[in-house]
Amino acid sequence: MADRIDELDPTQDIRAARTSIKWTRFAPDVLPLFVAEMDYGIAPAIEEALIARVRSSDLGYLDGPGPLAPAFARFAVDRWGWDVAPERVHIATDVSVGIVETLRVALPDGGRVAIAPPVYPPFFELVEEARCQVETIPLLEKWGVWSLDLAGLEQAFAQGVRVFLLCNPHNPVGLVHEPATLRALAGLAAKYDVLVISDEIHGPLTHPGVVFSPFAPIAASAGARSVVVTSASKGWNLAGVKCSVVVAGDGRSAALLDTFNDEVACRTSILGLHANIAAFSTAVDWLDEAIARVVANDRLLNALLAEQLPGVVYHRPRAGYLAWLDFRGLGLGDDPAVPLRENAYVALNSGLGFGAEGRGFARLNLACSPDTLREAVARIASAYPSSTQSEPVWHVA
Ligand SMILES: Cc1ncc(COP(=O)(O)O)c(C=O)c1O
């Protein structure tokens, strides 16, 4: 296990081996810690599944989820106690397409869709792609603790928002919503008959000791409508093979998803489907090993920042491998990712893409080797030496 996951460590020649955006967007002297791809080598079971499909020349079109539906259902019940009815499982090209296709059938004539920034940047575009209007109800933050603004959401629902696009767990702050919050959200969704589309792509990456709650069963108990969109693409590092799972949480949503155009399944990759099956059924140990490495890097980053960049406030994730960093203490302006890339040769995601709430922030990818993380912090500290002299700032737990 450890050998395979380490195989493409950046201390070896990862840049020569990979051709994805992470390794091609910036010059080789820039350390890439931006897009949500892991540096780890993929799980052997997934590699074998993909090679087997290629060897069999089994590279045609798909007609539906087939064996992926029961494989995902088994994973969901084992991992989270969520009982998924396989007949309520659909597939789409990826999570983004699953969201757009759900919006298309839910709101064929458009309508208002709420999102909670700072949030995964494409949420803004996905809503517009489905010819709907974005309504922002920002997350609340108090002493480094983030939460959904339930009062703000209720007001938006009462004023005609038809869909809420929930990020569960929430990218970029790594928030795993409390069950009580999700129950309250489900109560509001039922009261105002709002459909909640829950993007749960980071759910499998929940850290040890933290309980992740899939939204669908909570919604169903409250009589609310929900659709969960997820994939093995984030947890097992498979973004390029293109397959997501779209699950109806209740009878009305099941009827809605049954109206998906046949093309939605057909546009999903057969390689992605088999990679997802292998991930959910035989690569769970690999997932747990990847999470352990991310959690170790989270602790390491916290220590490195406290030591070398005390002016940076780190909002530590409880799921996923993305670190939300507040650079306002360093005086790097509204978009610190730009000076950090130009002066420290470290590429992070610009906080501004996540909404106005991301002003002064940047997002860093923790799914790398500890040495990569050490190098990134050292580069930033040496580019901004004065930042190492300020008073220590409390790092948010
Ligand atoms: C919350 C969230 N949703 C969706 C995606 C993209 O998923 P996909 O590539 O399956 O569209 C990401 C990628 O990082 C993400 O963080």
pLDDT score for 10? 55
| CATH 3.40.50.300 assigned to 2-42+284-389 | no
pLDDT score for 392? 45
**Distance (Å) from CA 233 to ligand 1 centroid:** 8
Say yes or no: CB of residue 239 within 6 Å of ligand 1: yes
Cβ-based neighbour number of residue 167 at 10 Å: 25
Say yes or no: CB of residue 236 within 6 Å of ligand 1: no
> Of all atoms in ligand 1, which is nearest to the CA of residue 239?
9
> Cα–Cα distance between 392 and 50 in angstroms, integer?
48
**Residue identifier of the C-alpha nearest atom 14 of ligand 1:** 36
Say yes or no: CB of residue 123 within 6 Å of ligand 1: no
pLDDT score for 13? 79
**Distance (Å) from CA 384 to ligand 1 centroid:** 32
43 φ/ψ sector (left φ>0, alpha ψ -120 to 50, else beta): beta
Say yes or no: CB of residue 326 within 6 Å of ligand 1: no
Best of 102, 125, 201, 241 for a ligand 1 pocket test (most atoms within 8 Å of beta carbon): 201
> Of all atoms in ligand 1, which is nearest to the CA of residue 170?
1
**Distance (Å) from CA 100 to ligand 1 centroid:** 12
> Of all atoms in ligand 1, which is nearest to the CA of residue 94?
10
**Distance (Å) from CA 220 to ligand 1 centroid:** 24
pLDDT score for 110? 98
Say yes or no: CB of residue 322 within 6 Å of ligand 1: no
Judge contact between 283 and 291, C-beta under 8 A.
no
Say yes or no: CB of residue 167 within 6 Å of ligand 1: yes
> Of all atoms in ligand 1, which is nearest to the CA of residue 97?
11
Say yes or no: CB of residue 120 within 6 Å of ligand 1: yes
pLDDT score for 15? 87
**Residue identifier of the C-alpha nearest atom 13 of ligand 1:** 36
State the span(s) of the chain assigned CATH 3.40.640.10. Answer: 46-282
pLDDT score for 397? 45
Q: What is each CA distance from 149 to 116, 121, 166, 202, 395, in whole angstroms? A: 8, 19, 12, 21, 23
Say yes or no: CB of residue 116 within 6 Å of ligand 1: no
Residues of the chain with pLDDT under 70: 1-4, 7-12, 386-397
Q: What is each CA distance from 104 to 101, 127, 152, 377, in whole angstroms? A: 5, 9, 25, 43
State the span(s) of the chain assigned CATH 3.90.1150.10. Answer: 2-42+284-389
**Distance (Å) from CA 223 to ligand 1 centroid:** 27
**Distance (Å) from CA 167 to ligand 1 centroid:** 10
pLDDT score for 121? 98
Dihedral in degrees, nearest 10, Cα atoms 2, 8, 13, 19: 180
From the list 144, 41, 79, 203, the residue with the least C-alpha distance to 361 is 144
From the list 61, 74, 5, the residue with the least C-alpha distance to 242 is 61
Q: What is the CATH number of domain 46-282?
A: 3.40.640.10
